[in-house]
Structure formats: structure tokens, C-alpha cells
């Protein structure tokens, strides 16, 4: 799903189309305070909020010597931020959070308390290290995963998905009715039309999108499928060799579904499906592997964006944004770090409000945005956007 290679296109600088009407805001402010402040102006306005807080570990070795990601008030602060986040999200909105195993269960508990456990969508392990590259030889084991948690505000909301088109070669039937006065009967509250032999023809033609696919109602189709069950219970008893049009049976796209009852030669019934509902969604997967990208992550954002505090791959944000948002939606990230979410939002034409409490992070984000404007990010494209900045 995710292409593991960073596409470096350093050649000529190209200009991206200007972001129409999208707004970008950057705050130097602590997350609980910023989210509280935003509620007045942006209640239920965000389609996605991504939170990548400090992981609350004791790890501070090597390049992270000066970095402190532990806080005695971690749970309390996260609870406050997640509660504010809930108020900021639209009804169809999503919350995504990055965390490692140290606080994973605690963070899930906090989010369950605020969103309700029924609004937890899933846990996406994110592979960030190669199994064989073991640098911390004093550790008990080599941890290669971080985690992404997804919540939705409304438990009915689904991720945006691509649609897999149906295989057209199966759509080779066309139905022709020869009377406009079929018998009409009410069956299970539906007005069905019944065409007797001689009142209809079923043609076999070259496959085409306007044609229908024929299914024999047998096996699971007869017992575990609405159309199949309806046929067996209510249409089979009508008699042999009838064409029956049933409205509103399934979400067929046409508004109705055609059936043909059994014949002397064929004991099973038949139904016909249009191409309108034959495609299938390609579901997002939680198989995320960034092991090829992480070693080069210091390059993302261009020169001077070598952020040591768990900088995320832009492809991770691209993935999150693509399944939870559409163009022009509003995205929030209140632990902005090096500005990965903001940069991806600009590239994907989403509006974005981000913040970070640290002066160093704000400086890096500002540099990253300058790189974007000048076409100095690794994609070599110049982005045109307006940013409003708010100091401490």
C-alpha cells in the first residue's frame, strides 16, 4: 500500500497550483491551552486531528540526550487535549494518535473515556526499524514498532476508500420487457412486477457497463444474501420461468433488482446485478512499513529540518490524510514538531492549524515552510500559500 521509497526529484523547480481558499495557522502554544482556545472559533470544524505527543519514555540517549519527553502530568494533559479535540472535531471527523508501547494502553484508555470505546477504529502498528539493525544492544529486545490509534466521533463513519471497479467481462446480459402491463403484487411491502413467459426476453450480448451480471442463486447466495433469501422465501413460490422486478431490495444503484425464477431445466433461481454496485471498496490496511524511509527522514522538508524528536515520515501523514480527509478539509496537529502534518496538508490542499510549545520546533517549522515556498523540499516543487503565525 505504501511505497517504501522516497521519491527524490531534485531536478528543476516546479510550481504547484496555488492552494485555493485553504488557510494555514501556526501557534507557539501548549497543546491543552491551544485546543481550549480554538474551541470558541472552531467548534466541530476539524475533519482530522492528528496528535503526536511526547511518548513519556525515559529514553534520552545519543542525539536525544537533551530531549525530555517525560512529564509527571502526561496523562492529565493528554486527557485534557483529547477532550478538547472531541469538541473540535466534526461529527464525521477522525482522531489519529501516534504513540509507542510505553503509554499505548494508557492513551487508549484516555481516548476510550472521551470518545467511547465503540468509537475506537483500530490499532495500526507502524514498523519504523529493521529487525536486523539492532543498535541498542543492552535492551532486552529490539522494538521495531510504533503505533497509530484511530478514533471516529461517530461510530458509523467509514474511512475514505478507493473503489475497485468490477470486471466488465461478466456484464453481458440485457433484459427486454415486452409489455408495460405486467402483473403487480405487493410482496413484503414492495410492489413487484411479474413478467410471464413471452412477456420478456433475456439477451446475451458483448460485455458493457450498461449490461447486467447474472448470478445463479445457489449455495451461500441462497442462504446468506438478502436477494437470495428474498428469492427463496417469496419469489420461488410464484412459479417457474417468471421475470420479477423487485424495487428497493438492496442498494442496487438501479433502485430495483431483476430475478428470474427456476425452470424445468434449472432448479435454482437467478438474479441480475448492475455495474453500479458491483465495485468493491479497497479497505485501508494497518500493514504500515516505513523502515526504508526512516533512515533518510532527516532529508524530508529540505535542509535544516533534521528534527530528532520522533519526526514522522510524510508518507505516514499522506496515508492518514488520504483515508480521513478530502481537499479543503480542516486538519489539526497540536504537537507539530518539525511540521510534517502542516507540510503534507499544504501539499494535499487541506487547511491546517498546528502548534507546538517549543521555540525550537516553531523555528524548524518556519524553516520547513520557507523551503516549501522556495521549492527546496525534496520534491523540488514551489508551494504558494499564506500562513498566519501566532507567538507565545
Residue nearest to ligand SAM (CB): 337
How far apart, in whole angstroms, are the C-alpha atoms of residue 85 and residue 51? Answer: 9
Q: Which of these ranges, 204-212, 249-257, 333-341, 374-382, lies near ligand SAM under the rule CB under 6 A? A: 333-341
337 binds ligand SAM (CB under 6 A): yes
Three-state secondary-structure class, residue 300: coil
Q: Is 254 left (phi over 0), alpha (psi -120 to 50) or beta?
A: alpha
Question: Among 30, 112, 229, 289, which residue sits at the site for ligand SAM (rule: CB under 6 A)?
Answer: 30
344 binds ligand SAM (CB under 6 A): no
Sign of the torsion formed by the C-alpha atoms of 65, 291, 101 and 331? positive
Helix and strand numbers, DSSP H then E, in the chain: 8, 21
Q: Which of these ranges, 6-14, 152-160, 265-273, 337-345, lies near ligand SAM under the rule CB under 6 A? A: 337-345
Q: What is the DSSP string of 169-211?
A: GG--EEEEES-S--EEEEETTEEEEEE-TTSEEEEE-S--TTS
- Do residues 333 and 52 touch, judged by C-beta distance below 8 A? yes
Least Cβ distance, residue 167 to ligand SAM (angstroms): 41
292 binds ligand SAM (CB under 6 A): no
- Do residues 345 and 325 touch, judged by C-beta distance below 8 A? no
Best CA proximity match to 95, nearest among 295, 333, 274, 288: 333
103 binds ligand SAM (CB under 6 A): no
290 binds ligand SAM (CB under 6 A): no
Phi first, then psi, for residue 311 (nearest 5°) are -60, 135
Question: Among 358, 366, 373, 381, which residue sits at the site for ligand SAM (rule: CB under 6 A)?
Answer: 358
361 binds ligand SAM (CB under 6 A): yes
Question: Among 19, 354, 357, 371, which residue sits at the site for ligand SAM (rule: CB under 6 A)?
Answer: 357
Question: Among 310, 325, 351, 354, which residue sits at the site for ligand SAM (rule: CB under 6 A)?
Answer: 310
182 binds ligand SAM (CB under 6 A): no
54 binds ligand SAM (CB under 6 A): yes
- Do residues 262 and 240 touch, judged by C-beta distance below 8 A? yes
Question: Among 80, 309, 329, 379, which residue sits at the site for ligand SAM (rule: CB under 6 A)?
Answer: 309
How far apart, in whole angstroms, are the C-alpha atoms of residue 356 and residue 25? Answer: 12
The secondary structure of residue 323, as a DSSP letter, is H
377 binds ligand SAM (CB under 6 A): no
Q: Which is nearer to ligand SAM, 192 or 316 (CB)?
A: 316
Phi first, then psi, for residue 385 (nearest 5°) are -155, 165
Q: Which of these ranges, 3-11, 127-135, 257-265, 310-318, lies near ligand SAM under the rule CB under 6 A? A: 310-318
Question: Among 6, 26, 31, 293, which residue sits at the site for ligand SAM (rule: CB under 6 A)?
Answer: 31
302 binds ligand SAM (CB under 6 A): no
Q: Which of these ranges, 5-13, 199-207, 253-261, 309-317, lies near ligand SAM under the rule CB under 6 A? A: 309-317
- Do residues 229 and 259 touch, judged by C-beta distance below 8 A? no
338 binds ligand SAM (CB under 6 A): yes
- Do residues 358 and 77 touch, judged by C-beta distance below 8 A? no
Q: Kindly state the number of chain residues that form the binding site for ligand SAM, as judged by CB under 6 A.
A: 19
- Residues lying near ligand SAM in the complex (CB under 6 A): 30-31, 52, 54, 77, 307, 309-312, 334-335, 337-338, 340, 356-358, 361
Amino acid at each position: 500500500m505504501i511505497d517504501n521509497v522516497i521519491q527524490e526529484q531534485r531536478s528543476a523547480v516546479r510550481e504547484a497550483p496555488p492552494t485555493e481558499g485553504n488557510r494555514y495557522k501556526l501557534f507557539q502554544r501548549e497543546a491543552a491551552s491551544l485546543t481550549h482556545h480554538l474551541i470558541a472559533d472552531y467548534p466541530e470544524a476539524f475533519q482530522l486531528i492528528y496528535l503526536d505527543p511526547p511518548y513519556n519514555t525515559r529514553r534520552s540517549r545519543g542525539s536525544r540526550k537533551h530531549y525530555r519527553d517525560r512529564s509527571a502530568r502526561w496523562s492529565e494533559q493528554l486527557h485534557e487535549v483529547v477532550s478538547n479535540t472531541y469538541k473540535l472535531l466534526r461529527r464525521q471527523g477522525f482522531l489519529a494518535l501516534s504513540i509507542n508501547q510505553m503509554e499505548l494502553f494508557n492513551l487508549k484508555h484516555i481516548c476510550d473515556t472521551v470518545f467511547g470505546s465503540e468509537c475506537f477504529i483500530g490499532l495500526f502498528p507502524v514498523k519504523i526499524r529493521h529487525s536486523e539493525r539492532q543498535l541498542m544492544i543492552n535492551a532486552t529486545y529490539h522494538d521495531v514498532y510504533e503505533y497509530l490509534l484511530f478514533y471516529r466521533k461517530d461510530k458509523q463513519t467509514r474511512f475514505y476508500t478507493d473503489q475497485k471497479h468490477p470486471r466488465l467481462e461478466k456484464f453481458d446480459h440485457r433484459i427486454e420487457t415486452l409489455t408495460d402491463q405486467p402483473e403487480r403484487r405487493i410482496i413484503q411491502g414492495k410492489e413487484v412486477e411479474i413478467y410471464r413467459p413471452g412477456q420478456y426476453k433475456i439477451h446475451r450480448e458483448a460485455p458493457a457497463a450498461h449490461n447486467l451480471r447474472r448470478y445463479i442463486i445457489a449455495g451461500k447466495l441462497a442462504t446468506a444474501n438478502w436477494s437470495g433469501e428474498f428469492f427463496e422465501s417469496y419469489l420461488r413460490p410464484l412459479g417457474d420461468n417468471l421475470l420479477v422486478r423487485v424495487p428497493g431490495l438492496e442498494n442496487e444503484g438501479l433502485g430495483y433488482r431483476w430475478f428470474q425464477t427456476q425452470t424445468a431445466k434449472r432448479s435454482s433461481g437467478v438474479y441480475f446485478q448492475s455495474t453500479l454496485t458491483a465495485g468493491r471498496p479497497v479497505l485501508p490496511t494497518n500493514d504500515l512499513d516505513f523502515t526504508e524511509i526512516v533512515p533518510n527522514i532527516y532529508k524530508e522538508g529540505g535542509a535544516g529540518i533534521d528534527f530528532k524528536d520522533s519526526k514522522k515520515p510524510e508518507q505516514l501523514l499522506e496515508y492518514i490524510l488520504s483515508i480521513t480527509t478530502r481537499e479543503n478539509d480542516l486538519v489539526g496537529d497540536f504537537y507539530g514538531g518539525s511540521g510534517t502534518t502542516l507540510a503534507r496538508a499544504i501539499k494535499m490542499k487541506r487547511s491546517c492549524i498546528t502548534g507546538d510549545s517549543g521555540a525550537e520546533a516553531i523555528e524548524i517549522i518556519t524553516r520547513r515552510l520557507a523551503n516549501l515556498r522556495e521549492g527546496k523540499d525534496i520534491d523540488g516543487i514551489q508551494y504558494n500559500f499564506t500562513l498566519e503565525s501566532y507567538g507565545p
